[in-house]
Amino acid sequence: MKQKYSKNFPTSSQIDSQHQKPSRQSKPSNYLRKLAAGWLILQACFLTNPALAQKPKNTLTYGEFLEKLADKKVETVELDETNRRARVILKGDGAEQTPKTVKLFDRNPELSSRIILSGAELKAKQSVDRSTVTGILVNLLFIFLVLTGLILIIKRSANASGQAFNFAKSRARFQMEAKTGVQFDDVAGIEEAKEELQEVVTFLKEPEKFTALGAKIPRGMLLVGPPGTGKTLLAKAIAGEASVPFFSISGSEFVEMFVGVGASRVRDLFKKAKENAPCLIFIDEIDAVGRQRGAGIGGGNDEREQTLNQLLTEMDGFEGNAGIIVIAATNRPDVLDKALLRPGRFDRQVFVDYPDYQGRLGILEVHARDKKVAAQVSLEAIARRTPGFSGADLANLLNEAAIFTARRRKEAITMTEINDAVDRIVAGMEGVPLVDSKAKRLIAYHEIGHAIVATLVPNHDPVEKVTLIPRGQAKGLTWFTPDEERGLITRSQILGKIASTLGGRAAEEVIFGNPEVTTGASNDIEQLTSMARKMVTKFGMSELGPFALEGEDQPVFLRNEPMRRSEYSEEIAARIDAQVRSIIVECYENAKNIIRDNRYAIDRITDILIEKETIEGEDFRNLVKDFSATPEPKAKISF
């Protein structure tokens, strides 16, 4: 008769599942048990003596000790019941020998009688038991570590909650006495802007001079200019001269992803400023928060607009903010909201432009104070060679020159390091010159073509130097330096610049022939095409007459590509293309004629350039004078 055991006993799979799936309630208790067991094991390691693999010297086992007692070889026994140790001196060892140590059992009832019967001297010693104290200290250390961890966790959570409450507070950096380390003497090259801002310093120091006459100082001043011209440096100088509380913040720090945070920060900033009036508020890159409302593809950012509304209200609303002067800086004044620029808010716009020759000279003198500059260095020559450099560019120039000087292990900065620094900033890092080959000779003819056309056409900037040393993407370079600051450019100057730009391509075609023309003039062609088109469509310097046929390039929202808005018909577009082509072709023919007429000079100067790799501007002009008077040879030069 078969019996079914499956109803009464669990199967093997059920047993395995029970062992593999313990209950969730037992997990914390198991974890605590393991933690407690680990702590007890740790205490045992600290409080107990480790077992020794070998018997150390000057020790006896308990059995050996009893044998010595039975043989009456023990002279003195000192018992320490507290530590369960016995110090034994055997007969014949002498008093100077180190006693041997014997580890005793917990209970030794007959040991004393055995020692006495053996005739050995018995001594008793009571030592202090430190095991209890050590255990208490270890437990207290554990408790201290646990409490320290809890305090750190609580403190972190408190800081997180505090940051949540301070999220809407202003993040402006505040200085009760603005020790910026910058005075007006440290700012050079922008004298007109300094005069405008000097009134702000005078009002903050002596306001009665203005109030006695009923005058009101402007509430806000907007510093406008290209990057690197010294707008932030001017704000630091104002704060350093005025010695009043100074708040500085960036426009991007107002706007957050949470609604209302930017407006709250503006309110908090002006609240703190009113408590410390008279004071200065400097907002850098204000275009981040002051863009025109309702502009932009896809709708405006409502949070940014609410922040701007709050800023407008605080600067000139129902509540006055006497004694608070707001100074802001931007390089995009065209995108600012009109309400921000009206009188009563930003009353004045101070334009900080690129410095002229005298300004560059003053900036170089300021930045050369803390550098070791050789006596033969001419700051006037540097200022004359760097038109279009901003204050930041000139500071970087002297810093790069100092780096070159330290790398070459020189005592002071010389003109060589400064010239190398100018080349590095303008054109890029210096490369390895080419070996004397057809490619190097072709590049030399190309650069000499630029230089000789620029020298012989009227109203062109003089040549600074011609070099075959590669820099950046260019295999060779021809530098030009204007004699004077030119605010306006004449038609003849533009045509001369187009002709000199085409001089490299003209030299390739005349010297090597049309099949050997290279792609080296691609960048030149882009530049001259742009100049010729502007002559026709913007400057009115063509047969079409004085008409502005194209506006400013506007960036597209998504791809940031320029988008031109045409103001003419297709017929006018064709005539514009014809005029651009006519200007370029005329200049190209002029450049080729100059190359043909001065072929002998070009060949001789090219040989010198290949040998020296660099010719300075004055030397180049002297070579042109010398070789132009020599008759041209009939034989062609073969390569």
Q: What is the CA radius of gyration of the chain?
A: 45
The number of angstroms, rounded, from the C-alpha of 474 to the middle of its chain's C-alpha atoms is 27
Cis check: omega of the bond before 333, within 30 degrees of 0: no
Q: Using CB atoms within 10 Å of the CB of residue 368, give its burial: 0 to 12 exposed, 13 to 18 middle, 19+ buried.
A: middle
As beta bridge partners, residue 248 has 173, 282
Three-state secondary structure of 31-64: HHHHHHHHHHHHHHHHHCCCCCCCCCCCEECHHH
The number of angstroms, rounded, from the C-alpha of 360 to the middle of its chain's C-alpha atoms is 25
Residue with tokens 């998504």: 558
- Asked if 412 contacts 373 with a C-beta cutoff of 8 angstroms, the reply is yes
Coil, strand or helix at 336: strand
Long-range pairs of 562-569 with CB within 8 A, sequence gap ≥ 24: none
- Asked if 444 contacts 612 with a C-beta cutoff of 8 angstroms, the reply is no
The set of residues, in sequence order, having a beta carbon less than 8 Å from that of 96 and lying 6+ positions away, is none
Tokens of 426: 């303008």
**Catalytic-role residue among 447, 464, 508, 509:** 447
Q: Which helix (H) or strand (E) holds 339?
A: helix 338-341
As beta bridge partners, residue 100 has 88
Tokens of 132: 């209890």
Three-state secondary structure of 237-287: HHHHHHCCCEEEEEHHHCCCCCCCHHHHHHHHHHHHHHHCCCEEEEEECHH
Tokens of 391: 């204050």
- Measured distance CA(406)–CA(401) in Å, rounded: 9
Alpha helices, H only, 569-637: 570-597, 599-612, 617-628
Residue with tokens 């029970």: 18
In the DSSP assignment, the letter for residue 433 is P
Q: Is 567 a catalytic residue?
A: no
The number of angstroms, rounded, from the C-alpha of 122 to the middle of its chain's C-alpha atoms is 82
Sequence length of the chain is: 639
- Asked if 465 contacts 612 with a C-beta cutoff of 8 angstroms, the reply is no
Long-range pairs of 538-547 with CB within 8 A, sequence gap ≥ 24: 539/491, 539/494, 541/491, 541/494, 542/579, 542/583, 543/579, 544/572, 544/575, 544/576, 544/579
- Asked if 76 contacts 57 with a C-beta cutoff of 8 angstroms, the reply is no
Catalytic positions: 447
